[in-house]
Amino acid sequence: MNYDDKMKTFLYSPKTICKWTSLYQTGGIDALMPREHSDKGATRALPDTAVEEIHRLKETFPRLNATQIHRQLVEDSFIPSTVSVCTVQRVYCIMVIDDHSCLLAGGGQFYNDNAYNFQKVLKQVVAAYGIPIKLYVDNGCCYSNEQFSLICGSIGTVLLHTKIRNGASKAKVGAV
């Protein structure tokens, strides 16, 4: 690989450049550095107890809608009233699709988009269809972590990641 292959061109909007300039002028170079959130890895709006209560309410009273569940969570002090109804009804859909046949091999709806939930779906897929030869996944933390790499390596699955910011090619599994 020569020097030209390593060079990449990025386009930024004038608004982004203005924001960076303003940050630099007020806080110096440190203001431009990325900061980690203190709650990294945890859902910001719903604690685990609230998620468990949502599941319990839906199981016990399947006809309850999000507004009714929200009201109950606030009344029972699982969440503050400042949490929106949209947050209560927000669910992440995690699916594994066979790229060759377009078969939906496994999936689920979750309140958190995390490695644990993806691995639960992958376990379903392996149990139903066998070990995939390749997994083609996005670069999110759910798929780009040491544990997931070890899982794929231990079962003999080749782990492939999409190019960064390539939304059209996410979440595929090939040649199951």
- What pLDDT is stored for residue 155 in this prediction? 92
With 0-12 CB in 10 A as exposed, 13-18 as middle and 19+ as buried, what is 173? buried
pTM score > 0.85 for this model?
no
Full 3-state SS string of 116-131: HHHHHHHHHHHHHHCC
Contacts of 155 (CB under 8 A, 6+ apart): 126, 131
- What pLDDT is stored for residue 128 in this prediction? 94
Domain covering 92-174: architecture: 2-Layer Sandwich (3.30)
> C-alpha distances in angstroms, 63 versus 68, 129, 136, 175?
10, 34, 37, 40
Domains of the chain, by residue range, sit at: 48-89, 92-174
With 0-12 CB in 10 A as exposed, 13-18 as middle and 19+ as buried, what is 69? buried
Q: How are strands ordered across the β-sheet holding 158-161?
A: 158-161, 134-137, 172-174
Please state whether 40 falls in left (phi above 0), alpha (psi between -120 and 50) or beta: beta
Residue stretches of the chain with pLDDT short of 50: 1, 172-176
- What pLDDT is stored for residue 162 in this prediction? 83
Q: Provide the sign of the torsion angle of the four alpha carbons 126, 132, 137, 142, taken in this order.
A: positive
- What pLDDT is stored for residue 73 in this prediction? 93
CA dist., res. 109 & res. 92, Å (int): 5
